[in-house]
Amino acid sequence: MPKPLDWIETELQALRDTGLYNKIRTLESPQGAWLVVDGEKVLNFCANNYLGLANHPRLVKAAKEAADKYGIGPGAVRTIAGTMDLHLELEKRLAAFKKVEKAITFQSGFSANLATIPALVGKEDVIFSDRLNHASIIDGCRLARSKIIPYDHCSPASLKRTLDEYRRDYRRALVVTDGVFSMDGDVAPLDEIYEVTRVYDVILMVDDAHGEGVLGEGGRGIVDHFNLHGKVDVEVGTLSKAFGVVGGIVAGHPLVVEWLYQRGRPFLFSSAMTIPDVAACIEAVDILESSTELVDRLWENAAYFKEEMRTLGFDTGKSTTPITPVMLGEAPLAQKFSQKLFEEGVFAMSIGFPTVARGEARIRVMISAAHSKEDLDQGLAAFETVGRELEVIT
């Protein structure tokens, strides 16, 4: 008789056989430009630590001091006994930073999406969603049980066609898009999307996880980048990427925030952000508000790295952000490239199907303000060596 869990072993074996099994590497050092990974010191081209805040001394100090004063755990969900003055301070500071009236925090960007989408739309409603939206948006849409209409990636024209065809058949409508798409590094044309949506009765939502702390003046995000203040109803963000900590945020119309305090299920049924995390995030806002230095360095580093990669002959895709895909084509080549880079002391992940389309496998390089010019040059030299060896460049 087969046992009830035998199928898992079969499925795992299928993943191993097709090269899709996730081998998880272990870091033995703080997050930064250089890491110790599985015992090797390697240059870090993998992390979302855009500004180098994950191990910033000021964030570490703030977290320690808050732990001394308040301890670690919130002890409850926000709506029962888990809201501390620090949580409210963070929400106030984030709202001011992002130039909105109100903001609400969650345990992660993922849970911010799971909270927000089902709170805004339900069974009688319709969601228009970019085809390449992030998994947490997709799951949020499924939880809402609304009709989901995908529109073509970053295409306001396709969005308009679908709105014309479907909007009238439903009660409420939500248009939702990633701000920065994490695999290609392209930016949603939010200005054009706003222009399309404004004449329909729809709620406009953007998930700016990779734009928070990256796009806009001093990292204020995609709404600031396009100067759409007051025009986007819901801006989801994360405190886990450029902010260097862990947490999620929803900023935007005060009614949306008020409603999420009452009806955002991960807010009501999952414990609050931990205290050291909250204190570290407040410090991150402080750093971002006091100077654009880190954000400027991030963009300078990205521009330099991309330019040099193109000069070497690599195809860096259509990114307009610090996310730098190095297009390689087939998944086995990308895997091999990543492996050889690791041997050269560079940690950069290969990404293949189903995360990206077949034939579009790549190495995704994540540039950070934490990288020095010497770091970038060392990375470029490794790419050149491996690129020639595998005949990707000549």
Q: Summarize as ranges the residues that interact with ligand PLP (CB under 6 A).
A: 108-110, 134, 136, 178, 182, 207, 209-210, 238, 240, 248
Question: Computed from CA positions of residues 137, 140, 142, 147, in that sequence, does the dihedral angle turn out positive or negative?
Answer: negative
Compute the distance between CA of residue 205 and CA of residue 14 in angstroms, rounded to an integer: 38
In angstroms, give the least distance from the CB of 184 to ligand PLP: 12
Q: Kindly state the helix (H) or strand (E) to which residue 352 belongs, with its residue range.
A: none
Q: Which of 56, 241, 253, 306 is catalytic?
A: 241
Residue nearest to ligand PLP (CB): 109
Question: Phi/psi zone of residue 219: left (φ > 0), alpha (ψ -120 to 50 degrees), beta?
Answer: left
Between residues 110 and 128, which has the closer beta carbon with respect to ligand PLP?
A: 110
* Residue 34, both tokens: 């250089």
Closest to ligand PLP by CB, 50 vs 305, is 50
Helical H segments across 19-166, by residue range: 57-70, 85-97, 109-120, 135-144, 156-166
Count how many residues are written for the chain: 394
Least distance to ligand PLP from the beta carbon of 134, Å?
3
Closer by beta carbon to ligand PLP, 91 or else 178: 178
Q: Minimal distance in Å, beta carbon 224 to ligand PLP?
A: 17
Closest distance between ligand PLP and the C-beta of residue 329, in Å? 24
The torsion region of residue 252 among left (phi > 0), alpha (psi -120 to 50) and beta comes to: left
* Residue where the block lists tokens 């807010």: 267
CB 306 within 8 A of CB 88: no
Sheet containing strand 349-351, strands side by side: 323-329, 361-366, 349-351
Nearest CA among 218, 238, 272 for reference residue 74: 272
Active site residue 123: no
210 part of the active site: yes
Q: Is the dihedral of CA 165, 169, 172, 177 positive or negative?
A: negative
What is the number of alpha carbons within 13 Å of residue 17 lying toward its C-beta?
6
Beta-carbon contacts of 308 under 8 Å, excluding residues fewer than 6 positions away, are: 376, 380
**Residue with smaller CB distance to ligand PLP, 206 or 376:** 206
Closer Cβ to ligand PLP, 93 or 210, answer by number: 210
Active site residue 3: no
What is the nearest approach in angstroms of ligand PLP to the Cβ of residue 55?
17
Residue 140 or 156: the one with the smaller Cβ distance to ligand PLP is 140
- The least CB distance from residue 108 to ligand PLP, in Å, is 3
From the candidates 87, 160, 210, 371, which is the catalytic residue? 210
Catalytic residue numbers read 182, 210, 241
